[in-house]
């Protein structure tokens, strides 16, 4: 009976513990079929104690540092959009990043989109996408 009470107490304590947010790398996923459809590389991360406006400024700087051009910022929507043309095809890839207030911090979501017929290495994309996302912290 004492063991059952301890197990129940432990389960209640664990159930009351907030689930920790995953890292950018842990949230990374790829959608689409290579060469047949567009590919979307997505990730997100929550940054406790980070102000949304400061995160937007930091994200914009990181996007420029990663070689993106025409970085547009919509502060009211908490959104950034940028482009990159690295294939020589004249068909740009798009990066969209959003930063929105959540609790006492900011949640950053990012999606890098490449067009059908284009390929990209997921590990490489994850690396630079997570560098951009982690820049929100400053």
Helix (H, G, I), strand (E, B) or coil at 18: coil
Is there a domain that residue 7 lies in?
Answer: no
Residue 52 within any structural domain of the chain: yes
In a domain, 12, yes or no: no
CATH number at residue 26: 3.30.530.20
3-state secondary structure of 44: strand
Angle at 136 between CA 71 and CA 63, to 5 degrees: 25
- Domain extent at residue 27: 21-137
Q: Residue-wise pLDDT tens for the chain (138 aa)? A: 444 434 333 333 433 333 445 899 999 999 999 989 999 999 999 999 999 999 999 999 999 999 999 999 999 999 999 999 866 667 789 999 999 999 999 999 999 999 998 888 999 999 999 999 999 998
Helix 122-134 to helix 52-65 angle (10° resolution) is 140
The answer to the question of residue 4 being in a domain is no
């Amino acid at each position: 009976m004492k063991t059952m009470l301890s197990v129940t107490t432990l389960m209640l304590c664990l159930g009351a513990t907030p689930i920790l947010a995953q890292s950018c790398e842990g949230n990374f996923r790829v959608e689409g079929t290579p060469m047949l459809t567009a590919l979307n590389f997505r990730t997100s991360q929550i940054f406790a104690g980070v102000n949304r406006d400061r995160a937007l400024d930091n994200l914009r700087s990181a996007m420029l540092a990663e070689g993106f051009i025409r970085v547009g910022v919509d502060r009211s929507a908490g959104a950034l959009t940028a482009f990159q043309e690295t294939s020589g095809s004249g068909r740009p890839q798009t990066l969209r990043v959003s930063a929105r207030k959540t609790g006492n911090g900011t949640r950053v979501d990012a999606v890098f989109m490449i067009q059908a017929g284009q390929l990209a290495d997921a590990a490489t994309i994850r690396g630079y996408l997570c560098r951009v996302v982690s820049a929100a912290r400053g």
